[in-house]
Amino acid sequence: MSDAAQHPRADHSLNVLRPPAEQRFAEELTRLAAEDRWARPAGWRLSPRMVEAFIMGDPRLGIRPKYVGDRALIQVAIATLASDRALLLIGEPGTGKSYLSEHLAAAICGTSQLTIQGTAGVTEDQIKYSWNYALLLAEGPSDRALVPSPLLIAMRTGRIARFEELTRCPSEVQDALISVLSEKAMAIPELERVELAQRGFNLIATANTRDRGVHEMSAALRRRFNFVELPVISDLQQEIEIVERRTRELMEDFDIQVDIPRETVEALVTIFQELRQGQTIDGSQKVKRPSTVMSTAEAISTLFTGCLLASYFGSGRVGGQELLRTLIGAVSQEDPSDLEALMDYIETVIKRRKGKVWSDLYRLKSQLKR
Ligand SMILES: Nc1ncnc2c1ncn2[C@@H]1O[C@H](COP(=O)(O)OP(=O)(O)OP(=O)(O)O)[C@@H](O)[C@H]1O
Ligand SMILES: [Mg+2]
């Protein structure tokens, strides 16, 4: 397959900074629908097999992989969405929960936009419905005055709603979901009506295990979900693949061209894995762990910032110089003393490694002190 087919360019005619998955991959989704010979669950645009192909990639159909990881996990997630239970994606920060949720919703129902963002300030209105107060005062409660939440829109249209960071919401607000998920209905007492969910409706929630835990969800709500835990990637080659691919996609979005040597990505991901695990990959040496989560998402943004530096201020090639500068920010996000852990790592591990990126990192380490 040509490089262009592997990395189709974002459609710049849209002129948006980040098109949602259903727009970015509109062409892939159309192709999958045209090739689909399998049974579709009611209300779905694609069969579960084609949803899987969209997520995991299918070279035969020219579908590029999105999520990298265990196929069996993805099958459980897809099967859950075809059942009467909702899906809860849990895991450490930066393990691709939001990313997978967006792409699943796009493939199943054609939109990933029916999303509620969970925060400590979310109220029950934002989950169910609210009112256009001018109309409410003028006409009293009416369909026109009702402002449906993304969840209610998804119920009415038989599509997938997304709830990001569910566990950041207060528990009593989370519990507004119980009746929706068990009865597939939402009462609107002001209109003396109950709205019933159309076939195809379901919910994908995400929850971060570093925030308030899922155990703080009420047992009643937990029972309405199937949990799928997305693991932290521990395979070096797999993580390199993700970081490199996502960085190239970002470069396309931002229209920059930079040479990213394989050894640079390999060094970056190695550093992330070793700091994350507290030991070198071969297990021979212990390493001080910084308190920051050294997530895959963080590795992607570190490399991408390195690309920007190389493009705007450097030689057009990302190397040790760019990596070191961006690593400083990535490592010391939570606690400035984490820089010491990085310094320690440079002195004990990087010093002994062979290759240009490693020796550049070691040579430039004095920049860390500033
Ligand atoms: N296994 C993976 N496959 C593909 N991409 C991944 C994977 N893990 C992480 N990523 C990438 O990491 C980036 C961040 O992922 P995402 O925002 O979905 O993380 P998250 O789990 O929702 O994190 P948070 O808990 O902080 O919200 C995305 O660009 C995504 O592509
Ligand atoms: Mg997220």
pLDDT of 246-301, one tens digit each? 999 999 889 999 999 999 999 999 999 999 999 999 999 999 988 888 899 999 99
Give 163 Cα–ligand 2 centroid separation in angstroms: 10
Q: What is the DSSP letter of 336?
A: T
User: What is the predicted pLDDT for the residue at 271?
Assistant: 95
Please state the rounded mean pLDDT for residues 27-32.
97
pLDDT of residue 10 exceeding 70? no
User: What is the predicted pLDDT for the residue at 14?
Assistant: 58
User: What is the predicted pLDDT for the residue at 210?
Assistant: 80
Would you give the distance in Å from CA 313 to the centre of its chain?
Answer: 30
Rounded to 5°, angle at Cα 261 from 259 and 262: 140
pLDDT of residue 8 exceeding 60? no
pLDDT, tens digit (0-9, with 9 covering 90-100), for 107-122 = 999 999 999 999 888 9
pLDDT, tens digit (0-9, with 9 covering 90-100), for 154-163 = 999 999 999 9
pLDDT, tens digit (0-9, with 9 covering 90-100), for 162-173 = 999 999 998 889
Ligand 1 pocket, 208 CB below 6 A? yes
The residue length of the chain stands at: 370
pLDDT interval class at 4 (50, 70, 90):
very low
Whether 287 contacts 280, CB under 8 Å: yes
Q: Which of 325 and 190 is assigned the larger pLDDT?
A: 190
51-54, long-range: CB within 8 Å, 24+ apart, which pairs? 51/78, 51/104, 51/107, 51/108, 52/78, 54/25, 54/28, 54/29, 54/103, 54/106, 54/107
What is the rounded CA–CA span in Å between residue 246 and residue 257?
Answer: 14
Buried b (16+ CB within 10 A) or exposed e, 281-296: eeeeeebebbebbbbb
Mean pLDDT, the chain, as a whole number?
91
Tokens of 141: 């409660």
User: What is the predicted pLDDT for the residue at 171?
Assistant: 87
Among the bound ligands, the one closest to the CA of 250: 1
pLDDT interval class at 213 (50, 70, 90):
low
pLDDT of residue 3 exceeding 50? no
pLDDT of residue 12 exceeding 70? no
Atom of ligand 1 nearest to the CA of 93: 25
CB atoms within 10 A of CB 227: 15
Atom of ligand 1 nearest to the CA of 96: 18
pLDDT, tens digit (0-9, with 9 covering 90-100), for 47-102 = 999 999 999 999 999 999 999 999 999 999 999 999 999 999 999 999 999 999 99
Ligand 1 pocket, 98 CB below 6 A? yes
Atom of ligand 1 nearest to the CA of 208: 25
Sequence-ordered list of residues with C-beta below 8 angstroms from that of 368, at least 6 positions apart, any chain: 324, 328, 339, 342, 343, 346
What is the rounded CA–CA span in Å between residue 322 and residue 38?
Answer: 48
Ligand 1 pocket, 304 CB below 6 A? no
Alpha-carbon torsion angle 32, 38, 43, 44, nearest 10? -30
pLDDT, tens digit (0-9, with 9 covering 90-100), for 325-344 = 888 888 877 777 888 888 88
